[in-house]
Amino acid sequence: MKFIDTRGLDSSRPSFSEVLLRGIADGGGLYLPETLPYFSDFKQLDALRSSNYAERGAYIYNAFNIDIEANDTLRMMQKAYGNQFDDHRIAPVVSLDANTHMLELWHGPTSAFKDMALQCMPRFFSFSIKRGLASGSLSRDLLILVATSGDTGSAALAGFAHRSHTNLIVFYPDGGVSDVQRTQMTSSLGTNVGVYGVKGNFDDCQRAVKEAFFNEDLQAWLREHTNLQLSSANSINWGRLMPQIIYYFSAIIDLRAAGKLTDGQLLDIAVPTGNFGNIMAAWLAKQMGAPIGRLICASNENKVLADFINTGIYDIRDREFHMTASPAMDILVSSNLERLLYYLADAPRVREWMKQLRENGIFEIDAKTLALIQRDFAADYTGNQASLDVIQDCWKHYHYLIEPHTAIALHTAEKHRGDNPMMVVSTAHWAKFGPNVLRGLLNIPYGEDLLAPYNKMTGFELLRAIRRLAPEAAHVPNRLSSLEGAFERYQKVIPASDKDINAQIKDWIESRAY
Ligand SMILES: *Cc1c(COP(=O)(O)O)cnc(C)c1O
């Protein structure tokens, strides 16, 4: 399998493992496989009913005909989806009623859905570097830089810690992540990782990290003094998208095995959407023959995507950036949308639209492409208060506890429910967003301070309080509760300037004697 790019500017036709290491294509486009595998009869996949998640994953990967041997792929899948998950089904489907199913993507080591990709991708990444070094097509180890608003940093640390030939430095906004998220990151034990707070917000972190990639001095210093080259592992990398296709197939295999989705029936799927990666994977699964009906794109108050799907106009001019209860969806430029536009239009139009977005902050697609998008997608947004209200409704109705991202998907699913069974994608364990789950349960308005006794509690004490209010709720995963009082190895907070970030990168490398 060779890869092409969404802008038609990269003629190098790289393989899967080359695409993994490159991330972005020459000319700024995103990589896609030249063709998608197609399963014309789902019965072929029903044969995987008694296979475990790793075997299902290897089956899907092999169908892409990647440049990695089937036995290596299976071995890595078994490591990626093994007992670091707290449910042997890895991505179980839980039914709230006969036609409402929750796909739980938070059983991994950091209790949020980015583990689904970041337990898998780093293994294939490290494997590809090793092979590249052995064959001489690569001469250096990689240093990955990540700016995070919370979930990505901890999942990347969990995925890349201890991987050979890769190193990872994470920058997070000091005071801008929850106690649980910060401790997940700062207690990381990998010897190949570093974690630093930045005095500023997420945008400041991201800007400074992006700048490092273009900083000539830093690049020259790396070439001269180290064996490292910079890389990113962000969600536009095909290697992060591909693992996400697996769970849609796996869920449908399970639903059909349980008789909850019958032959000829289609499944509608609601996805809480930020960078359009998760829902793009669902669309790819549909193209590959999975019996999927409508995809429901659920946005929060940063609703640029919902507006786009409803109007065909992507407009970020003067759009205010809202802080919300669902921070992982606080995104204005949803990078993976470019992949959908490529499939439903073509590379010349994608080039033009991306140019307009860059230059004017707006683009409008043609009516035919819009009609194609609206055939497959419905979209809507849910405000902060409504997202907290849904947490309470869902608890009362189903005795099932959810957090704000999942609540947005459930709310949007209810609004757009048709005749098909509905699957709602649950992207985080409730315990990762304790304060707002508590507001939902206690009817405390969004943005209002918690009252006594809750205002005096740490993030971990709040989780225990929630469990007293909702005793039937599943327990707090051990790996979250055990973070309480964990030794935070990384305490350093640096200013949000390019100079300080670059100095910290050098410092980290020197302290590791590279
Ligand atoms: C990252 C994330 C999302 C958004 O997923 P995209 O693939 O960026 O659309 C939703 N919910 C949670 C909890 C996340 O961490």
Which string of DSSP letters, residue by residue, matches 451-476?
PTTGGG--HHHHHHHHHHHSTTSPPP
Nearest CA to ligand 1 atom 2: 328
High-pLDDT (> 90) share of the chain, %? 82
Pair 299, 380: CB distance under 8 Å: yes
> Residue 491: what pLDDT?
93
Q: How confident is the model at residue 513 (pLDDT cuts 50, 70, 90)?
A: low
> Residue 284: what pLDDT?
98
Q: The tokens 């099932």 sit on which residue?
A: 400
Regarding the beta carbon of 114 and ligand 1, being less than 6 Å apart is answered yes
Comparing CA positions, the residue from 473, 446, 173, 117 lying closest to residue 300 is: 446
> Residue 164: what pLDDT?
92
> Residue 86: what pLDDT?
95
Lowest-pLDDT choice from 107-116, 129-138, 304-313, 339-348: 129-138
> Residue 512: what pLDDT?
82
Pair 350, 341: CB distance under 8 Å: yes
Q: Which helix (H) or strand (E) holds 441?
A: helix 434-442
pLDDT tens digits for 198-207? Answer: 998 887 888 8
> Relative to the CA of 244, which ligand 1 atom is closest?
7
Q: How many residues does the chain have?
A: 514
Q: The tokens 């209010």 sit on which residue?
A: 469
- Average model confidence (pLDDT) across the chain: 94
pLDDT tens digits for 217-238? Answer: 999 999 999 999 888 878 889 9
Regarding the beta carbon of 329 and ligand 1, being less than 6 Å apart is answered yes
> Residue 263: what pLDDT?
94
Nearest CA to ligand 1 atom 11: 427
Can you read off the two tokens belonging to residue 375?
């055939």
CA-based torsion, 278, 329, 175, 319: positive or negative? positive
Q: How many CA atoms lie within 13 A of 495 on its CB side?
A: 5
Round to whole Å and give the CA distance between 158 and 151.
Answer: 11
CB atoms within 10 A of CB 44: 12
- Overall average pLDDT of the 134-151 stretch: 90
pLDDT tens digits for 281-332? Answer: 999 999 999 999 999 999 999 999 999 999 999 999 988 888 899 988 988 8
Q: Is the pTM of this model over 0.85?
A: yes
Best mutation site among 104, 278, 303, 432 for ligand 1, i.e. most ligand atoms within 8 A of its Cβ?
A: 278
Nearest CA to ligand 1 atom 1: 328
Q: Does residue 108 have a pLDDT over 70?
A: yes
pLDDT tens digits for 336-356? Answer: 999 999 999 999 999 999 999
Regarding the beta carbon of 405 and ligand 1, being less than 6 Å apart is answered yes
Q: From ligand 1's centre to the CA of 96, what distance in Å?
A: 22
Q: Does residue 514 have a pLDDT over 80?
A: no
Nearest CA to ligand 1 atom 4: 274
Pair 107, 88: CB distance under 8 Å: no
Inter-axis angle of helices 70-80 and 121-135, nearest 10: 140
High-pLDDT (> 70) share of the chain, %? 99
Q: The tokens 């405000």 sit on which residue?
A: 383
Q: The tokens 């998208």 sit on which residue?
A: 241
Can you read off the two tokens belonging to residue 28?
């700024």
Lowest-pLDDT choice from 281-290, 470-479, 503-512: 470-479
> Relative to the CA of 106, which ligand 1 atom is closest?
13
pLDDT tens digits for 370-400? Answer: 999 999 999 999 999 999 999 999 999 999 9
> Relative to the CA of 273, which ligand 1 atom is closest?
9
By three-state DSSP, how is residue 296 classified? strand
Q: The tokens 């947490």 sit on which residue?
A: 391
Q: From ligand 1's centre to the CA of 433, what distance in Å?
A: 14
Q: From ligand 1's centre to the CA of 2, what distance in Å?
A: 28
Q: From ligand 1's centre to the CA of 222, what distance in Å?
A: 33
Round to whole Å and give the CA distance between 509 and 514.
Answer: 6
Can you read off the two tokens belonging to residue 184?
């997940």
Q: From ligand 1's centre to the CA of 158, what distance in Å?
A: 17
Phi, psi at 350, each rounded to 5°: -60, -45
